[in-house]
Structure 1
Amino acid sequence: MKKMISSAFVLLLLAGCSSTSERPVKKQRMLDNTNQQPITTQNTAFPRTPFDEFIRESASRYSVDETLIRAIIEVESNFRPEVVSKSNAIGLMQIKASTAGRDAYRYHGKSGEPTSGDLKDPRKNIDIGTTYIRILKEQHLAGINHPQTMYYATVVAYVNGAGALLRTFDNDKGRAIAMINNLSPEEFYQHVQAKHPASQAPRYLWKVKNAYNALAVSY
C-alpha cells in the first residue's frame, strides 16, 4: 500500500513539473535601460480599447511604432473620440484639419482637408494622425540619425511643428539636423526642455515619454 501511494505521489509530481514547463511565457515589451528604447519580445499586450484594430492597422500601414500612437492618443484625448480643443483640434489624436489634416490629405494625393465628422471618426482620425507622424519622420525630420532622438523630435514636432523645433538649433534645416546629430538623445531632450519657445512642448514631450514608457514596461 505504501509503495502504491509513493508511486502515485511521484506521478503527480512529474505531471506538475510538466504542466509548469509547458505554461506559455507572458509576452511583453521591455525597455533597454541604457537609452529607453523599447525592445519587442514575442508580442505586445496593451490594455484593451475600442480602437485597437484601427491603431494596429495604421501602425502597420505607415510603419509607425504602435506604442507611440497609443501614447499620443492617451495624452491628447485619453481615448475619447469626441474631444474638441479650444483651438479646434479634434478627436483621438487631436488633429487640426487645416494643418495636420491638410498635410495628410496631400500625402495621399487628395485635395482639401478632413471635415469635423471625419476627425470624430476613430478610424479616420487615427489614420490621419499616423499619416502625419509618418510625414514628420519621412520629410520634416529626415536626416536625424539616432532612433531615440528621432522619437523625441517626432513627439515635439507633433505638438508644435517641426519648424519651431528645428529653429531652436538653426534657421537652416540642414545645419539644424547636423547640430541635432551632434547631440546624444539625452542632450537633445534637455535642449527641448530648456530652449523650446513654446512652454507646451517640453511638458508634452515629458507626458508622452512617460505614457510610452508605462505602456512599454507594464505590458
Structure 2
Amino acid sequence: MKLTGLLALILILAGCSSTPPPKQAEWDPTVPVRGALTWMPISEQTGQEWGVNPRVITAIIAVETGGNPRLVSASNAIGLMQIKASTAGKDVYRHMGLPGQPSDAELKDPVRNITIGTAYLSVLENGILKGINDPEVMQYALVVSYVNGAGAMLRTFDNDRPTAIAKINRLNVNEFMRHIEKNHPAPQAPRYLYKITRAMEVL
C-alpha cells in the first residue's frame, strides 16, 4: 500500500473511533401504558393493601409487558410484572409465612401476579431499603431494586448497607438517578429507569 493510502486509512479509522455512540432511541410509553391501565383497578387495590403507589405498579406493568399477562421470559419471569418464582416469589411467600414459592399457574393469573409483585415492592421498601427518607427517591430505588436487585443498587453507593442508605439520603431524586446511570453495573438499569420515568409521565 502506498504511503498516502496508508495515511488516509489511518485518518478514516481515527475519525471512526472518535465518533460518539448513537443515542438510545426514544421510547414511546403510550401503547404499553394503555395496556397496563387495563389492570389499574387491581393495582389500586393491591397498592392500598400493601402501601405501594399504584402508579409505580402500573408503570412496571407497562415497561415489563405492556399489560400482556401471558408473557414468559427466557429466564422464566412470568406474567404482568415478570416475576420469578424462585426469587421475588419466594421472598414474598417467606414474608407471608408460606412454604416454598408460587407456581407458574399462580403467576400467570393477573390478580395473583400483581398481588405478588406489589407485595415484593413492599418487602423491599420495608426491608433492605428501609431508611431511605425521600419518598420520590424511594420510589426510584424500588424500581431499580425490582429489576436488578436491591443489593446491586445499594453496592453502587457502598458495600455497607447503613452507609449506602446514608449516602442515598444526601441525594435528591435527580442526583440519585444520575448516580444509577453512571455507576450501576447492569447496563439495562438506567434504561429501565428511563422507561419507568416516561411511563409515569403519562399516567
TM-score (norm 1): 0.75
**What is the rounded CA distance, in whole Å, between the counterparts of 2:180 and 2:124 in structure 1?**
17
Whether the 8 Å contact between 2:124 and 2:150 is mirrored in structure 1 is yes
Partner of 1:59: 47
> Structure 1 residue 212 and structure 2 residue 200: aligned?
yes
Structure 2 unmatched runs, 5+: 1-32
Amino acid at match of 1:214: V
Q: Distance in 1 between matches of 2:45 and 2:168?
A: 31
Distance 1:51 1:190 in 2: 31
Within a 5 Å distance, the mapping from 1:16-165 to structure 2 comes to 49-165=37-153
**CA shift at 1:182, angstroms?**
1.2
Aligned to 1:169: 157
SS in 1 for 2:127: helix
CA change 1:50–1:184 in 2 (3 A) is closer
Gapped regions of structure 1 (runs ≥ 5) = 1-45
- Contact 2:40-2:58 at 8 Å conserved across structures: no
Distance (Å, rounded) in 2 between the aligned partners of 1:207 and 1:47? 14
Q: Deviations over 1:17-46 (max 9, x none)?
A: xxxxxxxxxxxxxxxxxxxxxxxxxxxxx9
Superposition deviation, residue 83 in structure 1: 0.1
Instruction: Tell me the amino acid that sits aligned with residue 142 of structure 2.
Output: T
Matched, 1:195 2:179: no
What residue identity is the alignment partner of 1:64?
V
Q: Provide the rounded CA distance (Å) in 2 between the counterparts of 1:186 and 1:59.
A: 25
Map of 1:22 onto structure 2: none
Give the residue type in structure 2 aligned to 1:212: M
Structure index of larger Rg: 1
Corresponding letter in the other structure for 2:128: H
Q: Quote the Cα distance in structure 2 between the aligned partners of 1:205 and 1:136.
A: 17
Q: In the aligned structure 2, how far is the partner of 1:169 from the partner of 1:192?
A: 9
SS of 1:140's partner is coil
Per-residue deviation at 1:141? Answer: 0.5
Equivalents in 2 of 1:153, 1:81: separation in Å? 25
List per-residue Cα deviations over 1:160-201 (Å, max 9, x = no partner). 000000001111000000111111211111000000000011
TM, length-normalised to structure 2: 0.81
Aligned residue-pair number: 170
User: Given residue 82 of structure 1, which amino acid in structure 2 is its aligned partner?
Assistant: R
Paired amino acid for 1:67 = R
Q: SS of the residue aligned with 1:169? A: coil
Q: CA deviation at 1:47?
A: 5.6
- Percent of aligned pairs with the same amino acid: 51
1:213 deviates by 1.4
> Hey, what's the Cα distance between the residues in 2 that align with 1:47 and 1:94?
18
